[in-house]
Structure 1
């Protein structure tokens, strides 16, 4: 792989940034998947599945927040929206 940097520390920063980017992409992807599961259960009008998916999604989002992938307000907003969605099922 071609890198523009010549200085050792700059080369290391490039590698570290790539590693963190891949990790963050993976975590964001798992959050999106968890959110889609909740939304699918709500669309199917399945209260039990939606509640179970909400618990799982909340856990995944909180872990992403603790790892610094999402800001705390962003994470809590996602959780609140999902909870509101699940509670909208009659």
Structure 2
């Protein structure tokens, strides 16, 4: 358990940051899920629009430290490829 005042404060800050990060991660997952649902329905136009709104959210997750840069890039690449394949079909 935390003994020094500094370690007690760091423990409080960690709890606060954990809650904020959890909310951000959940928000990003919601945007990504909307893209995946649009792909599943087969509607290319809705999928494109959902992808356009999901991309800034993913990148914001990178700047806030939720995701690593390459992780977000990989997710965007895979979603983009699936939307593009849906548009081509």
Q: Give the TM-score normalised by the residue count of structure 2.
A: 0.93
Alignment size in residue pairs:
87
Identify the residue that residue 39 of structure 1 maps to in structure 2.
Answer: 36
Match of 2:77 among 68, 73, 80: 80
Identify the residue that residue 14 of structure 1 maps to in structure 2.
Answer: 11
Structure 2: unaligned runs, 5 residues or longer: none
Q: Distance in 1 between matches of 2:82 and 2:30?
A: 16
Listed one character per residue, the Cα deviations across residues 16-73 of structure 1 (whole Å, up to 9, x for unaligned) are 1111111111111111111110010011111111000001110100011111111100
**Higher helix proportion, which one?**
2
What RMSD in Å do the two structures reach over aligned CA positions? 0.8
Give the CA deviation at 1:6.
2.2
Runs of 4+ in structure 1 displaced over 3 angstroms?
none
Structure 1: unaligned runs, 5 residues or longer: none
Q: Give the TM-score normalised by the residue count of structure 1.
A: 0.92
Give the CA deviation at 1:85.
1.2
